[in-house]
Amino acid sequence: MSIEYRNNDAVLTICQNNKAGSVTISELNYSASELLGFGSYELADQPLSTILPQRIADLLNEYIDFENDTNDVGSVLSKVQSFSIIGKNGNERAYRIKIYRIECSGGNSYFSIVLHDAPVIRRNEALRKVIRDNFRGHESLDQNTSLPNRSSLIKDIEVMKHHMNNSDMLSCFAVVQIDGYDKLLAQNGREVCNELVKYSVSMAKRSLRPDDVIGIVGDGRVGVLLVDINNGSERLVLNRLRWQIASNPYVGENGRQVGLTVSISFCGISGRGKEVNEMDKCEAALDKLHGDATNILIDTSINY
């Protein structure tokens, strides 16, 4: 499932412990900490009801079924009208929320609650529409895959930089490399490898949002432009993308399976100041990998 962590989103991670019959706060990101006035770990392991108005806390107590997943905390909260949270200053503030089940482990279910502030939503959605329209204005396609080609991606990055100069939007560029691509090409030929690239893209899109851009950088390499992403959450998106591809082998027309893994390098995009060629930087990092390295995530801001 693709989780829309965007710049300025406040994200709470909560844990439903069925054995203990409790719902607690596991963590909150920087935006949530700033928004609610609590320190990053001040609410850790505290009941979710700590920050909820009584009417919502009562609904959770009444409707959560700790023995039946059909009425877990996520499904109950998704039905709450006029959701609000009480900040450290005691003020109650309304939000539009999106809830995602992110993990089940040891009898515990973990959920992300993404808080959307209505004015910010409208402003960012309008800006993303302008950016999408700009992307389409110069799009050129790779002839083998019908995906945006390298020159198109380069122009997309420049468009992104232009808009970042006039907003607080953050973005990231990544290059996704199919591991052992030269060997796969020698064994299977160009036509099959084109299908492997397109299949990898289709798997990757499950972890991306409609605003994100994916295209061809070169042989066995795909470029991903993450638009309006929260600082630090690019790792979550890209790790999920790696897992999505590794967990779903390609099945050819003859029923033969081809297991794929990818290595990814990524680079934050800077609007103002330093002139950086993000695509070249990401490719250079992948070029330094040893031939037998697989399923690697490289942050090019560290030692590159």
- Is 5 among the domain residues? no
> How does DSSP assign 183-245, residue by residue?
HHHHHHHHHHHHHHHHHHHHHHGGGS-TT-EEEEEETTEEEEEE-SB-TTTHHHHHHHHHHHH
Q: pTM for the full model?
A: 0.61
107 plus 183 within the same structural domain = no
Of how many residues is the chain composed? 304
102 plus 150 within the same structural domain = no
Tokens of 102: 């992110």
Range of the domain at 273: 124-299
pLDDT at 2: 44
198 plus 280 within the same structural domain = yes
Domain boundary among 81, 116, 151: 116
How many Cα atoms occupy the beta-carbon half-sphere of 157 within 13 Å?
A: 26
272 plus 159 within the same structural domain = yes
Task: Render each residue's pLDDT in the chain as its tens digit; 304 residues.
Answer: 445 555 567 889 999 998 899 999 998 888 888 888 888 788 999 999 999 988 888 888 888 888 766 678 888 888 776 688 898 888 888 787 888 888 777 778 899 998 876 555 555 565 666 666 666 666 788 888 888 899 889 988 888 887 777 777 778 999 999 999 999 999 989 999 999 999 999 988 877 877 888 999 999 999 999 887 765 668 878 888 898 899 889 998 888 888 899 999 999 887 655 567 899 999 999 999 987 889 999 999 875 5
Looking up residue 107, the CATH number of its domain turns out to be 3.30.450.20
Which is nearest to 7 in space by CA: 211, 157, 227, 158?
A: 227
Q: For residue 7, give the amino acid letter.
A: N
Domain boundary among 50, 85, 116: 116
Domain boundary among 72, 96, 116: 116
CB 63, CB 76: distance < 8 Å: yes
34 plus 139 within the same structural domain = no
102 plus 131 within the same structural domain = no
> How does DSSP assign the chain, residue by residue?
-----BTT-EEEEEEEETTTTEEEEEEE-HHHHHHH---TTTTTT-BGGGGS-HHHHHHHHHH--TT-GGG-HHHHHTT-SS-EEE-TTS-EEE-EEEEEEEEEETTEEEEEEEEE-HHHHHHHHHHHHHHHHHHHHT--B-TTT-SB-HHHHHHHHHHHHHHHTTSS---EEEEEEETTHHHHHHHHHHHHHHHHHHHHHHHHGGGS-TT-EEEEEETTEEEEEE-SB-TTTHHHHHHHHHHHHHTS-EE-TTS-EE---EEEEEEE--SSSS---HHHHHHHHHHTS-TT--S-EEETTTT-
Looking up residue 253, the CATH number of its domain turns out to be 3.30.70.270
From residue 164, alpha-carbon distances to 42, 158, 171, 215, 294 in Å are 33, 10, 8, 21, 33
63 plus 28 within the same structural domain = yes
pLDDT at 117: 66
67 plus 137 within the same structural domain = no
| Number of domains, the chain | 2
- Is 3 among the domain residues? no
pLDDT at 1: 43
C-alpha 38/C-alpha 15 separation (Å) is: 18
- Is 217 among the domain residues? yes
> C-alpha 251: how far from its chain's center?
26
112 plus 132 within the same structural domain = no
